[in-house]
Chains A and B, each alone.
Chain A
Amino acid sequence: MAEPATTSNTTEDRLAAMTLPTGGWSDPARKAALTRVRDMGLPGRRDEYWKYTRPETLVQPDAPRAAVFANDEERLFANRDVLEIVFVDGVFDAAASGDLQMSGLQIDRLANAQDIHWASDLYGKLEGEGHYVPRPLAALNTAYATDGVLIHVTGKAEKPISIIYRHTKEDSDAVLHHVIKLDAGAELTLLENGPGAARFNQCMEVDVADTARFNHVRAQGRDHERRDATHIFARLGTQSAFKSFTLTVNGRLTRNECVIDLTGDDAIAHVAGACVGDGDFHHDDTVFVTHDALNCESRQVFKKVLRNGAVGVFQGKILVKEGAQKTDGYQISQSLLLDEDSQFLAKPELEIYADDVACSHGSTSGAIDETGLFYLRSRGVPMAEATDLMTLAFLAEALEEIEDADIAEELTERLSGWLRRRRG
């Protein structure tokens, strides 16, 4: 029997199950995105870009059910001076959210933004341009997103924005789209935390103007059965900086795509991720960084710890366009396989059209370092605890990519606690 391929039926079945929001400034962008979805078709098993990750459950009309993870621990980033914005199963929760007024920026909700909005020039723009490789789930998002935040950062934001996602319904199917525009010289730290829904399609477009700085730290929530397809599209101006880190623990299926265009000279883009998967866990980081300016730096640092048959995927590309001289591109993806059942699939790619660049990439898979393990045990640290320490040590290089050392420490502590708890 032939493998099922994506057909126009698959795409149309999915579209038929959704309602296209209409009646506002985003209409033209949504319609254009819908055309893109139909032209590309939703991803299927035969798509080269989905070779290592099966897209069916992300594409089928109804979200597969996902049990809500009972969780009594304090949520991440709780004890910080931040502006909290809460979405419950993809629906904005005004009562739980803070006052959306803050000096240095303007925040609106996609769902009720006024008719003429600054975001109308941006909504769907970076997504629409980010299809060197088809990303139909992102176009689907632009067309159908029911809500999201539109953040215009005009100066230095007085505190970070923390978006909190809660998953309360077993069949929730959320589509959220955020747009963040940083003016020249502006600065923002954006935190995201929690499972968005049983199935969560999220898209974030970030326009970073000259000399602006954007820091992003995300923790995707511990629900075991959730499915996520996320996209970040970023454009960087001259001397700007973009840093994004994602921590993923648990989740049945996660596909995180990050598409970065370095369009101004001397810009810096760092994208990193740490993931820990146990059992029925599939995690895919797909990154595409384009250097289209002079003297820019990009780093991709991804670490995955996998056990009991968990699967990790990394597809990372650095494209250096003609004329993007003095590019400094770095990419590393590594997995720690804690048993023989787990799998890491990596596809690192470099495509370079300039002759004066320094690009390197590496990918490794391995078991835990026996020498280090013995050293710890010889000092009296029991096997399980020593394994956890070595696991944290393995992930440290990715966590060190986080700009704010305090936040990095909070995530490390939390990870350490999760590992300890599993040990019992």
Chain B
Amino acid sequence: MLEIKDLKVELEEEGKAILKGVNLSVEDGKVHAIMGPNGSGKSTLSYVLSGKDGYEVTGGSASLDGEDILEMEPEERAAAGLFLAFQYPVEIPGVGNMTFLRTAVNAQRKARGEEELSAADFLKEVRAKAKDLKIDAEMLKRPVNVGFSGGEKKRNEILQMAMLEPKMCILDETDSGLDVDAMKLVAEGVNALRSEGRSFLVITHYQRLLDHIKPDVVHIMADGRIVKTGGPELALEVENNGYADILAEVA
């Protein structure tokens, strides 16, 4: 279970407060969505949870299954079961996608005291999972995300998620830059990974992604706080009326 309590975060360089006391609990097996206008702090929350540099936690806590994750290095958080699907997956010229995936899978296994996957087992698994996401052999061979279309990059994120089998998946605006078909494919990939032991935090501007990845709980974030929490109907309300009504109501 991911538990965030009164989390306060500033931009390190500017000292500007972005998160102003976020409270959120995502239970095992549940899908929570966070919606909110631009600049509300949604992406910052995802970066802070995954350990990106440049943010300073000034208060509060975040834990995964009782372990304080804010003190961990990014790789330790990953090994603990946290996964961030990036809004803008990073291109790494010169590193093959396969090499990258195998290094990541084995590094996490090693960190957890498990045996590394053999080259043959890895290959078998990655091929099967890639096929489900319509990722061809050519894409696996290419350098990480280099020359990938927007849709390919997002599918590649989901493939990594499928291979790494995290407990807690954060999807940061995974629908941005995707057409309807690409979004469906990504959503199918995510839905296939839904299970009792795995939770999701889906960050999105729009309700449409939530048509495909059905959330259990929807939160509205504004100005660095969760201002409203409800069921899937809350997402529909946003879709129909925009954020203004909700923000006016909680103000």
Contact = CB atoms under 8 A, between A and B. Distances in A.
A397 B50 CA distance: 30
Majority DSSP secondary structure for residues of A touching B: helix
Nearest to B101: A379
A383 interface: yes
B93 A393 contact: yes
Given A370-B53, A375-B86, A385-B103, A380 B92 contact: no
B104 interface: yes
B164 A380 contact: yes
Interface string A375-397: 11111111101100110111111
A353 interface: no
14 contacts: A374-B90, A377-B74, A378-B74, A378-B77, A378-B83, A379-B107, A382-B107, A389-B92, A389-B95, A389-B99, A390-B95, A393-B93, A396-B95, A397-B93
Interface in A240-285: none
A323 interface: no
B152 to A, nearest CB: 16
Interface of A: 370-372, 374-383, 385-386, 389-390, 392-397
A61 to B, nearest CB: 44
A393 B94 contact: yes
Contacts of A381: 75, 103-104, 107
Interface in B71-107: 73-75, 77-79, 83-84, 86, 89-90, 92-95, 99-100, 103-105, 107
Nearest to A386: B75
B52 A374 contact: yes
Given A385-B103, A385-B107, A374 B74 contact: yes
A378 B100 contact: no
A379 B73 contact: no
Given A376-B92, A393-B143, 14 more contacts: A372-B92, A375-B144, A376-B100, A376-B103, A377-B73, A378-B84, A380-B104, A380-B164, A381-B75, A385-B103, A386-B75, A392-B94, A393-B95, A395-B94
Given A383-B73, A394-B94, A376 B104 contact: yes
B160 interface: yes
Given A385-B103, A385-B107, A393-B93, A374 B75 contact: no
Nearest to A381: B107
Contacts of B151: none
Contacts of A370: 53
B107 A392 contact: no
B249 to A, nearest CB: 36
Given A380-B104, A380-B108, A381-B107, A393 B75 contact: no
B78 A377 contact: yes
Contact of A375 (B92, B94, B103): B92
A313 B37 CA distance: 50
A379 B104 CA distance: 6
Contacts of A385: 103, 107
A397 B94 CA distance: 7
Interface string B5-39: 00000000000000000000000000000000000
A380 B79 contact: yes
B137 interface: no
A377 B75 contact: yes
Given A372-B92, A395-B94, A380 B53 contact: no
Contacts of A394: 94
Interface in B45-81: 50-53, 73-75, 77-79
B117 interface: no
B128 interface: no
A372 B90 contact: yes
Contacts of B89: 375
Contact of B90 (A371, A382, A389, A396): A371
Nearest to A399: B94
Nearest to B160: A379
